[in-house]
């Protein structure tokens, strides 16, 4: 079998199996190494298996007991990181979590094939850094991910489930009560002149922001002298990373696919520029047109965030209500998105690209090297994707798709195109296409293999019928093809 750049397996069954039977397969595949079989249907397991097969891993042994699809890049000594999208424990749109985070039923067969390649040895870590207010214990318990990991532990597998965050918060009447865990589980990596922010002016750097974080903390990491990220040591220690995104539309980035999923390798969010404060006319990208109401709201939010950072919540609370009032008034009058939630945001795309440089080229000590330091495989859960107001308020997009690849840029290029995005208007992809040092190979017409004839071939040759036509976030309508 000739290996293409991306495989897409599509099923008509757009639902996930019950968590009661730990996402075990519903049939005994020849290569399956455990005894437990689900009494109910588990089409997701089969879909992941077939997507791996379509990609061509160990093709000559497919259907045999010794089929070992990950065996060429995972062995008994491999340290493997599985990086799902575990952004939030609840969907603020009220439309359920099936479209919100990577479903454990997709993760389970991947773990099985990793264990087979490791021969039951090596180490496996499943981890992410969700949003600061995510209740990680709730997410892993209610999704069945915690029970799944405990199942493998009962088999003697060295596997762990890790919340990478060192800063968490609870929202109380508009203010974020922050808890900082100084366990030093990450490494500060200064990209310096290799950062996508390196050529920014001092004024522009001072205006970088991330919502609900003290701007002084962000400025201490991104300024004229340095561009720092605080990356989980679990990522740096990994020999292989299996990136398991949940492709969705995204308010600030347009789409979140493989590249955006790597934001979760950073353990402290105050290292992550998300937008540049102010209007385009004033050198920002937070919103398009000048607005005194938004300026007032921004200043009050800055004050609120600084007071929260100092633990002065009683002072922060009235600032929040004033800031929120100005924000609502601005939204009513201007009828355009704020907070960087639109297609003119060119800040978060650079943060994403910086973290992808670290993903591939940072060694175990956090030093960037000339050659890739770890293998990256992408397996995306699109059985049910998310559209409209992702990442944390998505609506379900039932697709029945599992997609697999190895090149983060090529993968995003294909999936974003199929989602209906105008690639020329997705800053993350356009930035990546211009990265020379520590970038990805620039294959903008990848080859696709699929069980569906219409998806087979070069991206440019696919029929319009293959367009999944996601409904974009409200601020990105001009970046999607109608």
On whether residue 235 sits in a domain, the answer given is yes
**pLDDT reported for residue 464:** 74
Q: At what angle do helices 136-143 and 145-154 cross, to 10 degrees?
A: 70
Q: Is the per-residue pLDDT at 65 higher than 70? A: yes
Cα–Cα nearest to 316, from 471, 465, 178: 178
Query: What pLDDT score does 389 carry?
Result: 98
Q: What are the pLDDT digits (tens) for 302-356? A: 999 999 989 999 999 999 999 999 999 998 998 899 999 999 999 999 999 999 9
3-state SS assignment for residue 262: helix
Looking at residue 195, its pLDDT comes to: 98
What is the rounded CA–CA span in Å between residue 285 and residue 346? 7
In a domain, 274, yes or no: no
Closest CA to 11 of 399, 379, 386: 399
Q: How many domains does the chain have?
A: 1
Handedness of CA 64, 69, 71, 72 (dihedral sign): positive
**Helix, strand, coil fractions of the chain, as percent rounded to 5:** 35, 20, 40
pLDDT tens, position by position, 76-124: 999 999 999 999 999 999 999 999 999 999 999 999 999 999 999 999 9
- The answer to whether position 121 is within a domain reads yes
pTM over 0.85: yes
Domain that residue 376 falls in:
6-169+231-269+348-479
| Mean pLDDT along residues 269-289 | 97
Which value, to the nearest 10 degrees, does the dihedral of the CA atoms of residues 260, 266, 268, 273 take? -40
Q: Is residue 287 part of a domain?
A: no
**Alpha carbon distance 463, 469 (integer Å):** 13
In a domain, 332, yes or no: no
Strands 123-128 vs 159-163: parallel, antiparallel or unpaired? parallel
d(CA 185, CA 232): 6
pLDDT for 2 equals: 60
The predicted pLDDT at position 153 comes to 98
Average pLDDT, the chain: 96
Question: Which of 340-354, 395-409, 448-462 shows the lowest per-residue confidence on average (mean pLDDT)?
Answer: 448-462
* Beta bridge mates, 189: 229
Question: Residue 421's closest CA among 371, 457, 473?
Answer: 473
Question: In angstroms, rounded to a whole number, what is the distance separating the alpha carbons of residues 381 and 402?
Answer: 5
Residue 241: both structure tokens together = 């990373």
Confidence (pLDDT) at 215 = 97
- The tokens for 270 are 């105050």
Average pLDDT over residues 152-168: 96
- Residues near 394 by Cβ (< 8 Å), separated by ≥ 6? 91, 93, 95, 99, 100, 248, 249, 385, 386, 387, 388
Round to whole Å and give the CA distance between 244 and 265: 12
Whether 320 is covered by a domain: the verdict is: no
Q: Considering the domain boundaries, does residue 294 fall inside one?
A: no
Q: Residue 415 in contact with residue 426, Cβ under 8 Å?
A: no
Comparison of pLDDT for 100 and 482, the residue scoring more: 100
Task: Report yes or no: 142 and 91 within 8 Å, Cβ to Cβ.
Answer: no
Identify which has the larger pLDDT, 174 or 40: 40
**Which has the closest alpha carbon to 451: 13, 53, 3, 17?**
53
Q: How many residues does the chain have?
A: 482
Answer yes or no: is 317 within a domain: no
SS3 194: helix
pLDDT surpassing 80 at residue 367: yes
3-state secondary structure (DSSP) of residue 316 = helix
- On the question of pLDDT at 127 being above 80, the answer is yes
Residue 330, token pair as written in the block:
């601005």
Task: Give start and end residues of each alpha helix (H) in 31-87.
Answer: 43-55
Q: Report the relative pairing of strands 447-450 and 457-458 from DSSP bridges.
A: antiparallel
Residues 217 and 242 sit within 8 Å (Cβ to Cβ): no
Return the bridge partners of 8, or none.
403, 450
Instruction: Give pLDDT, residue 181.
Output: 80
Q: What is the mean pLDDT of residues 45-58?
A: 98
Facing residues of 421 across strands?
480
Please give the full DSSP string across 107-134, using - where no structure is assigned. Answer: HHHHHHHHHHHHTT-SEEEEEE---TT-
Q: Given a cut of 90, is residue 177 above it in pLDDT?
A: no
Is the confidence at residue 163, as pLDDT, over 90?
yes
The tens digit of pLDDT for each residue in 9-26 reads 999 999 999 999 999 999
Report residue 51's pLDDT band, with 50, 70 and 90 as the boundaries. Answer: very high
Q: Does residue 1 have a pLDDT over 60? A: no
Q: For residue 16, what are its two tokens?
A: 């996930």
pLDDT at position 467? 77
Euclidean distance between CA atoms 19 and 147, whole angstroms: 9
């Amino acid at each position: 079998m000739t290996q293409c750049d991306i495989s897409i397996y599509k099923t008509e069954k757009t639902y996930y199996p019950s968590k009661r039977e730990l996402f075990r397969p519903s049939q005994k595949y020849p290569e399956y190494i455990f005894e437990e079989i689900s009494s109910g249907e588990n089409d997701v397991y089969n879909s992941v298996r077939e997507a791996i097969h379509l990609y061509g891993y160990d093709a000559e042994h497919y259907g045999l007991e010794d089929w070992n699809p990950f065996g060429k890049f995972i062995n008994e000594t491999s340290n493997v990181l599985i990086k799902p999208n575990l952004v939030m424990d609840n969907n603020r749109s009220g439309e359920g979590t099936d479209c919100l985070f990577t479903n454990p039923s997709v993760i389970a067969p991947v773990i099985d094939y990793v264990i087979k390649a490791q021969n039951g040895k090596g180490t496996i870590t499943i981890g992410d850094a969700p949003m600061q207010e995510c209740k990680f214990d709730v997410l892993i318990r209610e999704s069945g991910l915690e029970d799944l990991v405990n199942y493998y532990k009962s088999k003697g597998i060295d596997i762990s489930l890790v919340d990478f965050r060192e800063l968490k918060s609870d929202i109380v009447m508009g203010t974020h009560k922050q808890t900082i865990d100084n366990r030093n589980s990450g490494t500060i990596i200064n990209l310096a002149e290799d950062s996508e922010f390196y050529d920014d002016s001092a004024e522009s750097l001072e205006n970088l922001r991330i919502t609900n974080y003290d701007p002084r903390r962000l400025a201490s990491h991104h300024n004229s002298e340095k561009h720092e990220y605080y990356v989980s040591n679990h990522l740096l220690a990994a020999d292989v990373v299996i990136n398991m995104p949940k492709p969705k539309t995204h308010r600030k980035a347009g789409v979140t696919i493989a590249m955006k999923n790597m934001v979760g390798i950073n353990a402290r969010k105050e290292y992550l520029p998300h937008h540049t404060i102010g209007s385009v006319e004033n050198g920002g990208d937070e919103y398009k047109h000048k607005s005194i109401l938004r300026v007032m709201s921004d200043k009050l939010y800055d004050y609120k965030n600084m007071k929260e950072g100092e633990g002065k919540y009683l002072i922060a609370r009235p600032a929040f209500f004033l800031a929120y009032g100005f924000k609502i008034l601005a939204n009513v009058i201007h009828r355009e998105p704020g907070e960087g939630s639109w297609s003119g945001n060119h800040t978060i795309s650079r943060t994403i690209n910086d973290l992808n440089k670290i993903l591939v080229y940072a060694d175990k000590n956090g030093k960037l090297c000339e050659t890739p330091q770890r293998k990256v495989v992408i397996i995306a859960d699109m059985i049910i994707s998310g559209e409209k107001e992702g990442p944390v308020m998505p609506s379900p997009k039932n697709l029945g798709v599992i997609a697999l690849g190895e090149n983060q840029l090529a993968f995003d290029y294909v999936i974003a195109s199929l989602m209906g995005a105008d690639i020329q208007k997705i800053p993350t992809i356009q930035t990546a296409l211009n990265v020379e040092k520590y970038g990805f190979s620039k294959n903008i017409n990848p080859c696709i293999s699929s069980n569906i004839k219409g998806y087979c071939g070069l991206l440019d040759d696919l029929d319009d019928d293959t367009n999944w036509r996601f409904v974009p976030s409200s601020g990105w309508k001009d970046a999607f093809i109608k």
